[in-house]
């Protein structure tokens, strides 16, 4: 192996001094020459471990081989066979723990940069107006898809390709779910999201925005109108710590903070009339991708000091390596081994600080990571102007609260069987509404699995 082939073709990025002042994409993408050079590093191993590890079973080796040959159109069509949104998943999928983690090349050198190649080919197709040429044999059966996030998208696309009449119900004024409200533009540009989602309309999915199932239309009504239903309502409700002071002003859930920034464009105030209060000193509780998104948004909103407050260490952080690196490069301070015990406010009702207890790491818990243990008497105060809770989410409470007949787990996820069917005949579910919050690519995979189950169900009727 040549020494040059051992190292990834580097991804060009915005300089730190520039990117902290804007919400433009940080990675600048591969050029055609760079993409071909990176793709040529792939040794095209026979057992295809990357494909086996992919939740949607993308034909990754074939896509990379055609990129190496410069046949970008064919590479795109290969990607689209299994993945309806490659330009999106290429940017946000945790490839380093999935396809790239088992890359044979990675045993001796740098793993192939699969995610960046996937994003490249999706972007290339958009720039060049390349689309799939589909022939759909229409069926008279109708399927409702509740939610337009990743699980709903993949389920709707697969069912539409099979010929079903698909209607998608979205509560918000734009489609995309977490892709729109949860992921900042510097990580996932919204023009990319809009372009990828326009595919739904092109293949004939009826997308109905501003429709809240459980409020504008009830599940029973949909059951009377449709032959099957897929619930992909996501996990949009925040988890709280239930500690003293959570009612203070200046404290956000990550959901609210990111919705204001991403969906309602608070960073462009007053051009967009959604204000957001982001003080000089911001503390973010949590250390996953959402916490990194919040922290990096706070930097761009003008915060002078931004802290990640985490009960373990950087090594145990669930955030993607790239997102953690970008956050640290942008000046975010990672405070390890601390756990919030209460939030402190002033007479005006605004948060003034947070009490933290120091932690030490014990034996591994059910997550496989060392269990954090509180050190008695170690509490200290950190002064903060804004606090954001980024400690995870639970499934959509509005929908579940209006559909009590749908069985859920003790922590609020929708119960499904091995075929992703709920306790209600003909009603299926998948994605974050059943897992409680995972990854975009996992949700895409569950949406595809649900589509296959729905097809089998309807074929037998």
What is the C-alpha separation between 431 and 233, in angstroms, rounded?
A: 8
pLDDT > 90: what percent of the chain? Answer: 75
**What architecture (CATH level 2) is domain 142-236+394-459?**
3-Layer(bba) Sandwich (3.50)
Q: Is 231 helix (H, G, I), strand (E, B) or coil?
A: strand
Contact between 229 and 450 under an 8 Å Cβ cutoff? The reply is: no
Residues 6+ apart with CB under 8 A from 185: 23, 24, 25, 262
**What's the pLDDT band for 275 if we cut at 50, 70, 90?**
confident
Of 73-77, 234-238, 279-283, 444-448, least confident by mean pLDDT is 234-238
Confidence at residue 409, expressed as pLDDT on a 0 to 100 scale: 87
Residue 459 structure tokens: 């074929």
Task: Among 1-10, 14-23, 189-198, 339-348, name the one with the lowest average pLDDT.
Answer: 1-10
Model confidence pLDDT, tens digit, residues 184-225: 999 999 999 999 999 999 999 999 999 988 888 899 999 999
**Predicted confidence (pLDDT) at residue 455 exceeds the cutoff of 80:** yes
Percent of the chain with pLDDT strictly greater than 70:
99
The residue length of the chain stands at 461
Residue 313: per-residue pLDDT: 95
- Report the topology of domain 240-391: FAD/NAD(P)-binding domain (3.50.50)
Instruction: Tell me: pLDDT of 182 over 70.
Output: yes
CA distance 336 to 287: 10
CA dihedral defined by 149, 57, 198, 429, rounded to 10 degrees?
A: -30
Task: List pLDDT tens digits, range 158-177.
Answer: 999 999 999 999 998 999 98
395 confidence band (pLDDT: 50, 70, 90): confident
Whether the per-residue pLDDT at 268 is higher than 90: the answer is no
Contacts of 151 (CB under 8 A, 6+ apart): 230, 232, 234, 430, 431, 432, 433, 443, 444, 446, 447, 450
Sign of CA dihedral 29, 33, 38, 42: positive
Per-residue pLDDT for 311 more than 80?
Answer: yes
Predicted local distance difference test score (pLDDT) of residue 411: 75
- The Cβ-side half-sphere exposure at 251, using a 13 Å CA radius, reads 23
Confidence band of 276 (pLDDT split at 50, 70, 90)? confident
- Is-contact 251 387, C-beta < 8 A? yes
Using the predicted structure, report yes or no on whether residue 396 has a pLDDT greater than 80.
Answer: no
Looking at residue 437, its pLDDT comes to: 67
What tokens does 131 get? 């689309």
Determine whether 410 is exposed, middle or buried from the number of CB atoms within 10 Å of its CB (0-12, 13-18, 19+). exposed
Quote the pLDDT of residue 168. 97
The encoded tokens of residue 423 equal 């306790």
What pLDDT score was predicted for residue 3?
64
pLDDT band at 274 (very low <50, low <70, confident <90, very high): confident
pLDDT higher than 90, residue 85: yes
pLDDT at 368: 83
Q: What is the model's pLDDT at position 452?
A: 96
Give the Cα separation of 214 and 167 in Å (integer). 16
Q: What is the mean pLDDT of residues 40-69?
A: 93
What pLDDT was estimated at residue 404? 85
- pLDDT tens figures, 358-382: 999 999 888 788 999 999 999 999 9
Average pLDDT over residues 425-435: 91
Note the pLDDT of residue 447: 94
**pLDDT category of residue 1 using cuts at 50, 70 and 90:** low
CB 146 within 8 A of CB 152: yes
The two structure tokens encoding residue 428 = 């299926």
Q: Between β-strands 351-364 and 370-374, what pairing exists: parallel, antiparallel or unpaired?
A: antiparallel
Q: Average pLDDT for residues 291-315, to the nearest whole number?
A: 96
Residue 432 near residue 443 (C-beta atoms within 8 A): yes
pLDDT at 101 over 70: yes
Q: Where are the alpha helices (DSSP H) in 183-241?
A: 190-202, 219-225
Average pLDDT of every residue of the chain:
92
As a whole number, mean pLDDT of residues 277-303 equals 95
Q: Residue 348 — pLDDT band, cuts 50, 70, 90?
A: very high
143-153 average pLDDT score: 95
Residues of the chain with CATH 3.50.50.60: 142-236+394-459, 240-391
- In the chain, CATH 1.10.1060.10 sits at 3-128
Q: How far is CA 402 from CA 107, 396, 410, in A?
A: 51, 11, 17
What is residue 390's three-state secondary structure?
A: coil
3-128: CATH topology is Fumarate Reductase Iron-sulfur Protein; Chain B, domain 2 (1.10.1060)
User: What are the phi and psi torsion angles at 362 (to 5°)?
Assistant: -110, -150
The CA R_g of the chain, rounded to the nearest whole Å, is 23
Angstrom distance (rounded) from CA 176 to CA 311? 32
- The per-residue pLDDT for range 435-452, each reduced to its tens digit, is 876 788 889 999 999 999
- Check residue 183 and give its pLDDT: 92
Tell me the residue ranges of DSSP E strands in 346-404: 351-364, 370-374, 380-383, 386-389, 393-394
Q: What is the pTM of this model?
A: 0.93
Q: Are strands 206-208 and 165-169 parallel, antiparallel or unpaired?
A: parallel
Q: Exposed/middle/buried for 399, CB within 10 Å: 0-12, 13-18, 19+?
A: buried
Distance separating alpha carbons of residues 308 and 296, to the nearest angstrom: 10
């Amino acid at each position: 192996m040549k020494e040059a082939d051992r190292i990834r073709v580097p991804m060009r990025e915005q300089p730190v001094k520039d990117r902290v002042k804007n919400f433009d994409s940080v990675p600048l993408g591969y050029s055609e020459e760079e993409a071909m050079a990176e793709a040529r590093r792939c040794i095209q191993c026979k057992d295809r471990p990357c494909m086996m590890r992919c939740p949607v079973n993308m034909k990754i080796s074939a896509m990379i081989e055609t990129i190496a040959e410069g046949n970008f159109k064919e590479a795109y069509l290969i990607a689209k066979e299994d993945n309806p949104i490659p330009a999106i998943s290429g940017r946000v999928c945790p490839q380093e723990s999935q396809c790239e983690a088992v890359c044979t090349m990675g045993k001796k050198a740098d793993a192939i940069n699969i995610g960046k190649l996937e994003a490249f080919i999706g972007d290339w197709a958009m720039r060049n107006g390349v689309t799939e040429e589909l022939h759909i044999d229409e069926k008279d059966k109708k399927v409702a898809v509740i939610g337009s996030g990743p699980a709903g998208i993949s389920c709707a696309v697969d069912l539409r390709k099979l010929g079903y009449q698909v209607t998608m119900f979205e509560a918000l004024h734009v489609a995309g779910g977490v892709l729109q409200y949860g992921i900042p533009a510097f990580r996932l540009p919204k023009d990319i999201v809009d372009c990828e989602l326009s595919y739904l309309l092109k293949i004939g999915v009826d997308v109905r925005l501003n429709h809240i199932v459980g409020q504008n239309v009830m599940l029973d009504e949909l059951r009377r109108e449709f032959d099957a239903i897929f619930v992909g309502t996501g996990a949009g409700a925040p988890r709280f710590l239930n500690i003293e002071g959570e009612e203070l002003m200046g404290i956000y859930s990550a959901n609210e903070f990111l919705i204001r920034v991403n969906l309602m464009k608070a960073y462009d105030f007053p051009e967009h009339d959604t204000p957001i209060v982001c003080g000089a000193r911001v503390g973010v509780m949590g250390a996953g991708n959402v916490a990194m998104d919040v922290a990096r948004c706070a930097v761009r909103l003008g915060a002078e000091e931004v802290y990640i407050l985490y009960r373990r260490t950087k090594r145990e952080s669930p955030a993607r390596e790239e997102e953690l690196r970008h956050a640290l490069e942008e000046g975010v301070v990672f405070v390890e081994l601390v756990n919030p015990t209460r939030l402190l406010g002033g007479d005006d009702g605004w948060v003034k600080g947070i009490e933290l207890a120091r932690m030490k790491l014990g034996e591994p818990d059910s997550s496989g990571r060392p269990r954090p243990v509180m050190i008695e008497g170690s509490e200290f105060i950190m002064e903060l102007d804004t606090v954001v809770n980024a400690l995870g989410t639970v499934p959509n409470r509005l929908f579940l609260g209006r559909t009590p007949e749908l069985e859920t787990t003790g922590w609020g996820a929708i119960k499904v069987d091995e075929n992703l069917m709920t306790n209600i005949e003909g009603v299926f579910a998948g994605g974050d509404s059943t897992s409680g919050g995972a990854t975009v690519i996992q949700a895409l995979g569950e949406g595809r699995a649900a589509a296959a189950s729905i097809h089998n169900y309807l074929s037998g009727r």
